[in-house]
Structure 1
Amino acid sequence: MVPAIALVFLRQRRGAIAPLAAIVFTVMIGFAAISVDVGSFYLARRTLQTTADLAAIAAANDVSRARAAALSAITAAGYPTETLTGLETGTYSADKAIPIDRRFASPGGQPGNAVRIELRWRTPLIFGNALLFLTGQSTDGLRDGVEIAVKATATSSRFVSLSIGSRLADLDGGLPNAFLGALLGAKLSLSAMDYEALATANIDLFSFSKALASQLNLNAVSYKDVLAANVTAGRLLDAATSAARASGSNSAAVAALVTLTNATATASGVVSLSRLIDLGPFSNLPIDDRPLIGARVNALDLVRAVAELMGGGRLVKASANLGLPGIASVSLTIAVGERPVGGSWFAVGMETVSVHTAQTRVLLDLSLVGDSTFALVNLSLYLEVASATATVQRMSCSDGSVQVAVRPAVIDIWIGSVGDAEMTNMQVRPAPKPATLVNIPLLARISGRAHVAISNMDDVRLGFSAKDIADGQPKVAKTRDFLTSLTASLIGDLKLYVDNFSLLPAEVLGTLLSKILVKVTAPIDTLLYRTLGLLGVGLGNADVWVHGTRCDGAVLVG
């Protein structure tokens, strides 16, 4: 028999479901509340991450205004500005050999091609605080919600190509043949029309590099490999000839390049073009790939740059009879130094890419036509030319414009004497001694010394529009204290030292000599301008070309 008490419980078993149901229902509500909070948390995180991604892309599209661009994207998404807790500009390298977490590098605060940002935001708990309170848990630190932190990195493909130099004027064959021939180690006989033809022809540097690879029998190599190879002047000019033909240059320019190639076929010495041309992010591309960015340079500029590279580091001497009024003959002594470390004449790169001219020294020994008192006057002009620099400050993908800051070269010019050893020691600036101007036995010996400097301590800013770049025309940056006539300024500063053996007073001899020098100020200014032009620098100015831009837009990389 079943005990009576058991029957009672059996009759009441349905009532035990109520408390159990209450417990289960409470647990279900708790899980639902947690699910709502967790879902809210992940939604808030995903929304914040999306905002971070958009902000990083906006900043990478305008690295020079990265913070302003990022904040604009953040506030547009409804977040306050203080959500942005970290922003760093740098460079991103898409090199598979580099671990992903090391591909972003900060270049010391300078703009690069990438931006890394961090956002922080607190998302409120909808039911979490109530559940914690009911379970007796502390809610300290959670009353304002849970902090979410996200990061995003974006990089952009924004590249610009530019070069620095000086346009050549009055291209008669005398001075260019003497100067370029001495640097190349060959005897040149190009005419003025040959030089004019070269000055109107353009050569694509990517096609030039490919032609050079063919000359050197290099296969399956990159542009960097080709430009780093040691090459003779003859091979370099032969490759330039092939590139000129491929680009459809005029026949006169091709013929002039063939003449140069033949003249330098036996010239000794090899150089690496990597010191002259920097293809930046495209350097590692296979030689058969043609990057879509402007890289067309003037054929004469390329010849001059190659000649400068061949003659760099040694003393080069040449003479020329230029037919300038009042100048009987000219002897040139040239020493071409190194560009700044990492500098080049032509470069492709991101914002802040720079190009440089080379440090150069020139000594011009002139024989001047005198008068009845002084039949012949000698004049030694020494020029110390520092490096000029052009740096891209900003490029705009919206309108294709480029802003360039240019620091023209500091030029010191002396009437004075400098020895060969002083010319080649680029670490020490020479101190020219008084140079002998007139030496007439039994009459007088007159020496003199003078100094004038052209300098500019501030950058000159040049703006290139998309049309300027398409037209391929250079822009010039001039020093503020540019002197119209350097020679006249020198003569005005000239201090004479007279050893007088005649009956004429020293003051009279000085006056007679000054009259001779004043007559040749204009021809000497022309000579200085043309000589510096052949060196790729201007008389108190610097010419800059922007050859092209490329904007591929920003993408997320991490």
Structure 2
Amino acid sequence: MSLHTFIGARGGGISVLTALSSVMLIGFAGLATDVGSVYLESRRLQGTADLAALAAIQNPAQAEALATATVSANRWSHDARIRIVRGTYAPDRSIRPGERFRPNAPGPNAVNVEVTTSTPLFFGKLFIPSGRMTITRRATAAQTQLASFQIGSRLLALNGGVANQVLSGLTGSSVSLSVMDYNSLLNADVELLSFVDALRTRMNLEAGTYEETLSSRVEAPVALHALADVLAGQEPRAERAMRQLAQAAEYAGSVGPLDTLIDLGPYAQQDHTAQLGASQIQVSAMDLATAVLQIAGGDRQVRLNLGAGVPGLASTDVWLAIGERPNNSPWLAVTDDENVIIRTAQMRLFIQAQVRPAGALGALANVRLPILLEMASAQARLNSIRCGFDPRDREVTLDVAPSIGSLSLGDINTSRLDDFRTALHPTRADLVRVGPIRVQGEGRVELGGQAWQQVRFNGSDIDGGVVKQVHTRDTAQATISSLLGRTNLTVAAGGLGLSTGAVTSSVRGALTTAAAPLDGLVNGLSDLLGVRLGEADVRVNGVRCGGAALVA
């Protein structure tokens, strides 16, 4: 056939087009196969990288070995290459996600794993001589960091008589514990979630999360008996003392939901822990019992008649009012959230003491000292958690704001002491009034400067349950001695042959004599209730660094 004839021929065109189209279709099919294969292998490799990162963060010191074993266990060939980078991860919303992991930063708490391998191509080998495509996937895992901390725990020793009167007032019954009983309670710690488990059993709750247990209304005796159940078998004397306290609290009233006192954070939705004590949140039994009694029945006023039981004072009467924590803030929190704030309760303390002055005035009358102490809430919040590879490198930093308030010498209406919505205005008081002799006095010391201060707890502090104190800058003024030293006196002493100067000197001497025992009394009472003017006491109950989560 001539060329001209061939060009003009019309037959067989479809076959040619079909042949050419088939080549294209086969090419596209091969390309689709390659793309699908690479995609599936990439997905599988990403899953392997995720698992490798989670394995590596369990023991970062052995990250390379753990990641390699995980990759091999997922049936990747020996050509897989693994790169490990240790660093820190900050779950801070203000930081862009890609910048939250800081490679090679000190105090690492995260591991970045990069896995690189190759996958075979089918059609692509016509264009790539090796016939394989390199794929790389990365994953970052960080340790889950949680800290438990509380505020208002400083008790080191107790005056048994004063403590019994305070607890009798809080329980509404008679409490008669010995000093040895109190010491056993002070030295006993309980595991917090074990207490909630015991509380659930006492309340006959068949099932439910920790949050559901704490959100149920509970009577004070039930909560205290649950505490005693946890102490059973480990602290026999402390258990017996707690049982006595629970029996005395029969008329203390309903505590209400304990979730206003304890914020379990991420543990709240759990109904058990993997093993007993796994949460590692140790709490002082005495602190927890006192906190429970404080919220039983809401705002309350307690009257203490100490008589001549305070050395150095002729007689002492005390009125104590305890308010609620502002904004329903908890007393103890488990969190990784810097916005969770715990607070102490507000407190008012009015003391009416009498002391016998020296000199001629002492034969005529005692000096009366009406003193009002008002304390706002101290506050604490989480600043940071650092989890090192060595447990001794753990560190928790808290921001703490001490309690502020005032000390006043003057008379008040004691019936309004527990009305925290109304300000009290002490008036000039008669310190001495006998015949023509009249001595009046007034004084006031204000404490301010409630700025946040950082407090760091290392691993030894946390394991040892160390309590740290934070003070306002003017905390030296937060004493009865400081108040009485600034008291203004006005004296009228006509008709008995006593000079105004002699009366003033005698009264000043009485104030000096009363200062030390009154400071001791105030400190003991405020210690028992977990707050002291111008100060704050904080403790880190535990820190969790072992959990792992993918973060990138």
Name the TM-score, length of structure 1 as normaliser.
0.74
- Aligned position for 1:458: 451
**Residue 416 (str. 1) matches residue 410 (str. 2):** yes
Residue 295 of structure 1, CA deviation:
2.0
Residue 291 of structure 1, CA deviation:
7.0
Within-5 A mapping of 1:489-528: 489-502=482-495, 503-528=497-522
Contact 1:351 1:395 in 2 (8 A): no
- Aligned position for 2:377: 387
**1:280 aligned partner, one-letter code:** G
Change (3 A) 1:182 1:206: same
Contact 1:60 1:154 in 2 (8 A): no
- Structure 1 stretches lacking a partner, 5+ long: 77-151
Change (3 A) 1:11 1:240: closer
Change (3 A) 1:445 1:23: same
**Residue 468 (str. 1) matches residue 461 (str. 2):** yes
Distance 2:295 2:2 in 1: 114
Residue 361 of structure 1, CA deviation:
1.0
- Aligned position for 1:141: none
Contact 1:364 1:380 in 2 (8 A): yes
Q: 1:8 pairs with 2, 5, 9, which one?
A: 5
Contact 1:233 1:264 in 2 (8 A): yes
- Structure 2 stretches lacking a partner, 5+ long: 58-85, 105-138
Contact 1:312 1:335 in 2 (8 A): no
Distance 2:297 2:87 in 1: 45
Change (3 A) 1:329 1:69: farther
- Aligned position for 2:298: 312
Number of residues of Structure 1 aligned to a counterpart in Structure 2: 481
Contact 1:169 1:530 in 2 (8 A): no
Change (3 A) 1:376 1:19: same
Distance 1:288 1:74 in 2: 32
Match of 1:472, SS state, is coil
Q: 1:71 pairs with 88, 99, 103, which one?
A: 99
Q: 2:528 pairs with 531, 534, 544, which one?
A: 534
Within-5 A mapping of 1:99-114: none
Contact 1:166 1:538 in 2 (8 A): no
Q: 1:196 pairs with 158, 179, 183, which one?
A: 183
Contact 1:210 1:288 in 2 (8 A): no
Distance 1:548 1:209 in 2: 16
Q: 2:247 pairs with 258, 262, 283, which one?
A: 262
Residue 487 of structure 1, CA deviation:
2.1
Q: 1:447 pairs with 425, 428, 440, which one?
A: 440
Q: Deviations over 1:202-259 (max 9, x none)?
A: 122222222222222221122222222322222222111111115x12x221221122
Distance 1:466 1:415 in 2: 44
Distance 2:103 2:387 in 1: 23
Q: Deviations over 1:182-221 (max 9, x none)?
A: 0111111112221111111112222222222222222112
Distance 1:21 1:376 in 2: 122
Q: Deviations over 1:111-169 (max 9, x none)?
A: xxxxxxxxxxxxxxxxxxxxxxxxxxxxxxxxxxxxxxxxx999973211111113224
- Aligned position for 2:541: 547
Contact 1:199 1:300 in 2 (8 A): yes
Residue 364 of structure 1, CA deviation:
1.1
Amino-acid identity (%): 34
Contact 2:175 2:248 in 1 (8 A): yes
Within-5 A mapping of 1:358-377: 358-371=345-358, 372-374=360-362, 375-377=365-367
Change (3 A) 1:227 1:501: farther
Q: Deviations over 1:397-441 (max 9, x none)?
A: 22321111110100311111222354222123322112221121x
Change (3 A) 1:42 1:230: closer
**Residue 397 (str. 1) matches residue 387 (str. 2):** yes
Distance 2:366 2:448 in 1: 33
Residue 354 of structure 1, CA deviation:
2.8
**1:70 aligned partner, one-letter code:** G
**2:460 aligned partner, one-letter code:** K
Residue 523 of structure 1, CA deviation:
1.4
**1:8 aligned partner, one-letter code:** T
Residue 462 of structure 1, CA deviation:
1.0
Distance 2:13 2:180 in 1: 113
- Aligned position for 1:103: none
Distance 1:197 1:550 in 2: 28
- Aligned position for 2:266: 281
Residue 463 of structure 1, CA deviation:
0.8
Distance 1:234 1:21 in 2: 91
Residue 457 of structure 1, CA deviation:
3.0
Distance 2:100 2:247 in 1: 61
Distance 2:172 2:444 in 1: 32
Change (3 A) 1:427 1:154: farther
- Aligned position for 2:112: none
Match of 2:519, SS state, is helix
- Aligned position for 1:214: 201
Distance 1:527 1:320 in 2: 10
Distance 1:232 1:72 in 2: 46
Contact 1:199 1:299 in 2 (8 A): yes
**2:378 aligned partner, one-letter code:** A
Match of 1:424, SS state, is coil
Q: Deviations over 1:530-549 (max 9, x none)?
A: 11111211343211111111
Match of 1:373, SS state, is helix
**1:176 aligned partner, one-letter code:** A
Change (3 A) 1:524 1:10: closer
**2:420 aligned partner, one-letter code:** M
Within-5 A mapping of 1:290-309: 292-309=278-295
Residue 61 of structure 1, CA deviation:
3.7
Contact 2:477 2:483 in 1 (8 A): no
Change (3 A) 1:156 1:261: same
| C-alpha RMSD of matched pairs (Å) | 4.4
Match of 1:456, SS state, is coil
Distance 2:318 2:490 in 1: 25
Distance 2:101 2:193 in 1: 39
Q: 1:241 pairs with 206, 219, 228, which one?
A: 228
Change (3 A) 1:453 1:484: closer
Change (3 A) 1:239 1:26: closer
Q: Deviations over 1:70-125 (max 9, x none)?
A: 3386999xxxxxxxxxxxxxxxxxxxxxxxxxxxxxxxxxxxxxxxxxxxxxxxxx
Name the TM-score, length of structure 2 as normaliser.
0.75
Match of 1:158, SS state, is strand
Change (3 A) 1:400 1:209: same
- Aligned position for 2:426: 432
Q: Deviations over 1:382-406 (max 9, x none)?
A: 1110111111100012232111111
